[in-house]
Structure formats: structure tokens, C-alpha cells
Amino acid sequence: MRPENYQAVNHPPSHEYELNFGPNHPGIEGNYALKVKLQGDIVIEARADGGYLHRGFEKLMENRLWIQNIALVPRICVPDPVPMEVCYSLAVEDLDDIKVPERAQWLRVLQLELSRIAAHLFTFGGHAATTGMYTPMYWGVTDRDLILDLFEELTGGRVYSIYNLPGGVRQDMPEGFLQRVTQTMDYIDGRLKDYDNLFFTNQIFIRRSKGVGVINQQQALEWGVTGPNLRACGLAFDVRRDDSYLIYDQLDFDIPTEDAGDAWARTLVRRMELVESIRIVRQVVQALPDIKGPVRTPIPNPLAWRVKAGDSYTRVESSKGELAYYIVSNGEEKPYRVHIRGPSSMHAVQVLEKLSVGCRLEDVAQTMFSLDACPPEVDR
């Protein structure tokens, strides 16, 4: 009963040896493990090992009221919790035919895009740290914190906002909030130049990340790659545009793509998405004052709320890729089944295993971070 990764390994008489990345390893995102078998410096086999963050969300959700699950869902993806809430709410609204007031939809988009910016800033930092450059991490996390301040003001919570309920959002925004959003966006806009200098145009970083973990278009489609990782292979697909939800069809934004499909391209796509998200936030900030009305459609007493029987497959675009909830209701107070399709369930397992093979020991961590895999989402 001794966990295997702590056991000394009797190496076969060859140049092959085994290394554990994780669960306690700075080169792994969160609490996750990747076992690699190396020949010299080259990985010849990789196996992902998850479940360190497994909490059994899908089971827990079957045991809780529809509304109680709202407090539970953001925890599924810790770095980017907002899409989880929104997606769950959208799915329940779809099941129970609840119309969300327009103002609530705009507020949700505002929150979603802020969350995307925060998540991307976090990812850059992590990615840079895997290559030994810590300053972007210090900067990125700090600048992300400014967005958390906005969340705190809007929703009362820094990370887990628990702001969305089926039917809308829980509170209207406080006074002067949009002004502070604009200030923060201006600040981040201004900071981008520093990030470019430090990180995105850093020749050594480019040298490190170019050609690492290359996915071509064909493979991306075959492996189920989604989100920025897919767009880095030259495919302009975005759930926000192509399977539109909320009021994204009223917004003007581009879908940035890159063709190389390597770690560098993925980082660059995120960098450009950051700008797009700021653009969306600015549009929302300009439009929101003119959109009056309630922020929530009342739902029945949550202690005795039965959602109509049926099933719904609802997708949103999280910062990691395509996030989907499959919810089955049998007309009871609790969901009958919730299946969460986290984008990382593809990226962190199959794709990572495939990309790791043939890659250098130095680049294993970078590959994982460039895929922006989120282990709690895999483990659920």
C-alpha cells in the first residue's frame, strides 16, 4: 500500500528511466501527476495520473438541491470558476424554460470576460515560471488580483463569486462599478506593453516554446482539442460565436488564431484573446447603463423547486476551452445526473500524454502549462 511514486525504482539496464511529475512538483499545474519514461532527455512514454483532486462532484450534485449546487460548481475549476456557474445556470434555465432578464445577461458576460482575463493572466505566469522566468508570474498574479478586487466588489467573493443563479444574477452592481472596471481595463491595457517586452517578445522564451508540443489541425480535431489550443492550430472556432449564448451575438469581437499549433502559438492566442476580452468588457461597460430592468427572474422557493424533467447539453467557452454541462432532470428537487465536460479532460490526459512523447524533459512542464490544463476540472 505504498504509493508507487515514492518508491525507489530499480532501473532496467538501459538508458531508460522514469520520472514523476507530480503530484507535488512545481512543474505540474495543481495537484496532478504525469509519469514519464525517458531515454536520455527524451520522453518515450507518458502516463497521466489524476484523481488527486477528485471530490465526486457529479455524485454530490445528485444529492443537493438545484440551488445548492450553485455554491458547489465554481469549485470544479478553481482558476476560472465563473464559466462553471454560468454554464450550470444556463443549463438549468434551459431545462426549466426560465428567461433571463437582459441586464443579467450583460452582467454575466461582464463577469465571464473579466474571469477570462484573470485566468489568462494566471496562465501566462504559470507558463513563464515553467521556463524559469518568475517575474511574469509575480506580475500576472498581481494584476489578476485587481480583477479579483472587481469580483469582490460585484459579487462579494474574490474567487468563488457564487453570483449566478438560475434566472439571473444575485445582486445588481454597486454604484460606480463600471468606472472602476474601466480603470482596471485601462491599467491592464497599459501593462500589456510591459508584458510584451518581458514575455511575449522575449527571444529566449520564444526559442524555448517554439516547436514545443506541436499539434497540427488534423490532430487537433481528432484529439478533441478545444478553446485557445484549437485556435492556435488555425481553426477559428469559438463557442461564443458559433454556438452563441447570452448576448455574445450582439458583441463585436474577433477570434484570434495562430497557425503553428505549438506552445508559443497557444500563448500568443491567449495574449490576443486578452485584448479581445478587454474589448468586450469595454463594450459591456458602455452598453450596461442603458439596459434597465431586473437582474433576476424569480425562481420558486429554492427549498421546493422542481426543475422540469428533461435533459440539456449546454456549452460555454471557458478560458480553457469548451465547457459543457449535461444535466438530466427527472422533475425532482435534485438533479438526476450532472455530467461535466471540462475542457481539460481532453487536454490534460490524452493530448498531454501524446504531446509529451518525443518531447524533451525540459519541455514537459511547459507543454502542460501551454495547454492550460486545469486538473480539478479533470478530476471533478
Residue type, position 103, single letter: R
Is residue 304 a contact residue for another protein (CB under 8 A)?
Answer: yes
CB of 354 to another protein, least distance (A): 9
Site string for another protein, 125-154 (x = CB under 8 A): x--xxxxxxxx-xxx-xx-xx--xx--xx-
Is residue 223 a contact residue for another protein (CB under 8 A)?
Answer: yes
Between helices 102-130 and 263-287, what is the axis angle to 10°?
Answer: 150
The SS3 call for residue 316 is: strand
Between residue 320 and residue 339, which ones bind another protein under the rule CB under 8 A?
322, 324, 326, 328, 336-337, 339
To which residue does cell 426560465 refer? 98
Cβ neighbours of residue 72 under 8 Å, at least 6 residues apart? 57, 60, 61, 64
Question: Do you find a cis peptide bond into 23, omega within 30 degrees of 0?
Answer: yes
Which of 179, 183, 300, 358 forms a contact with another protein (CB under 8 A)? 300
Judged by CB, which is closer to another protein: 216, or 282? 282
The SS3 call for residue 21 is: strand
CB of 130 to another protein, least distance (A): 4
Which of 15, 39, 242, 308 forms a contact with another protein (CB under 8 A)? 242
CB of 69 to another protein, least distance (A): 8
Between residue 347 and residue 366, which ones bind another protein under the rule CB under 8 A?
349-350, 360-362, 364-366
Which of 39, 63, 179, 183 forms a contact with another protein (CB under 8 A)? 63
What's the DSSP call for residue 326?
A: E
Is residue 186 a contact residue for another protein (CB under 8 A)?
Answer: no
Element holding 146 (H helix, E strand): helix 135-155
Between residue 253 and residue 282, which ones bind another protein under the rule CB under 8 A?
254, 256, 268, 271-272, 275-276, 278-280, 282
Which of 34, 43, 48, 82 forms a contact with another protein (CB under 8 A)? 48
Element holding 90 (H helix, E strand): helix 82-96
Q: What is the DSSP string of 163-192?
A: -EETTEESSPPPTTHHHHHHHHHHHHHHHH
Is residue 341 a contact residue for another protein (CB under 8 A)?
Answer: yes
Which of 42, 211, 216, 311 forms a contact with another protein (CB under 8 A)? 311
Which of 34, 35, 111, 260 forms a contact with another protein (CB under 8 A)? 35
Which of 39, 99, 174, 186 forms a contact with another protein (CB under 8 A)? 174
Is residue 198 a contact residue for another protein (CB under 8 A)?
Answer: yes
CB of 226 to another protein, least distance (A): 8
The angle formed by the CA atoms of residues 106, 112 and 116, to the nearest 5 degrees, is: 145
Q: Near another protein by CB under 8 A, which window of 82-90, 108-116, 161-169?
A: 161-169
- CA 369/CA 53 separation, integer angstroms: 18
Question: How crowded is residue 373: how many other Cβ atoms within 10 Å of its Cβ?
Answer: 29
- CA 186/CA 313 separation, integer angstroms: 37
CB of 352 to another protein, least distance (A): 11
Beta strand 321-329 pairing with 310-318 = antiparallel
Is residue 170 a contact residue for another protein (CB under 8 A)?
Answer: yes
- CA 245/CA 51 separation, integer angstroms: 31
CB of 72 to another protein, least distance (A): 6
